Amino acid sequence: MATKLQIGDLSVEVTQKDIKNVHLSVHPPLGRVSIAAPRHLSISAIRAFAIGKLSWIRQQQRKLEVQERETPREYLDRESHYVWGRRCLLKIVERDSPPMVEWRHNKLILTVRPGMDADRRAEVVEAWYRDQLREEVKPLMADWERRLGVRVNRVFIQRMKTRWGSCNPISHAIRLNTDLAKKPRECLEYILVHELVHLLEPTHNSHFVALMNQFLPGWEHRRDQLNRLPVRHADWDY
């Protein structure tokens, strides 16, 4: 059960769990703040931790405030979409055949049955992005498993409203956001390596940072690039 901690005008959602370390997160799009803390920590100790991180929290919230948002997509002719960081214009082709998507240079060609509504068109495009990401991940995963000396049991590719990826170090399962297929490939590689490194170090401590520096020098540039790119317009799930 979550507890609300008020520090001035800042509201922090605190959840205490059977974990060893404190995890602080600032969530898009509005900068909601949450802390997951070990059960043995007192609320006063958690408050002191949050106060010590106020400067970092405000910095992250400012980044989210200025991040560009994609406008809601209507899946109409000549609408802008992105594939691996490249802007494409959507071309709608109505035909009495199974729906499909083709990517040709600067065009994303969506073939649909006559009268197919925007929601169904969105499902077709979303499935195509998922397939693109799945194919791109296969060789990357094999390469990075070898480099890091880790093994992933399952990879899930799905729409994630508040995260680019996640890792379960216990089950060795990785989850990747379908929207990564819209971003440059180097951003996908950064997220994949980030999640795989969590199999070696579950937290974001100094050891985790050292591993990222060792295996993917310059990863901060990729992270910043991803954070500067437009994010999906959505009703974010809190």
Instruction: Tell me the residue range of the domain where 12 lies.
Output: 3-66
pTM comes to 0.72
Residue 75 in any domain: the answer is no
CA distances from 156 to 6, 152, 176, 217 (A): 36, 11, 6, 26
Residue 156 in any domain: the answer is yes
Rounded Cα–Cα distance for residues 73 and 95 (Å): 21
CATH number, domain of 112, equals 3.30.2010.10
Give 77-133 pLDDT, tens digit per residue: 999 999 999 999 999 999 999 999 999 989 999 999 999 999 999 999 999 999 999
Give the residue ranges of the chain where pLDDT is below 50: 233-238
Omega of the bond prior to 28 within 30 degrees of 0, cis? no
Number of domains, the chain: 2
Residue 74 in any domain: the answer is no
Q: Please check whether residues 189 and 103 belong to one and the same domain.
A: yes
Residue 46 in any domain: the answer is yes
What pLDDT was estimated at residue 192?
98
What pLDDT was estimated at residue 60?
82
User: Last residue of a domain, which of 33, 66, 99?
Assistant: 66
Residue 88 in any domain: the answer is yes
φ and ψ at residue 75, rounded to 5 degrees? 60, 55
What pLDDT was estimated at residue 61?
84
What pLDDT was estimated at residue 236?
30
How much is the mean pLDDT over the chain? 89
Residue 39 in any domain: the answer is yes
HSE on the CB side for 71, CA within 13 Å? 5
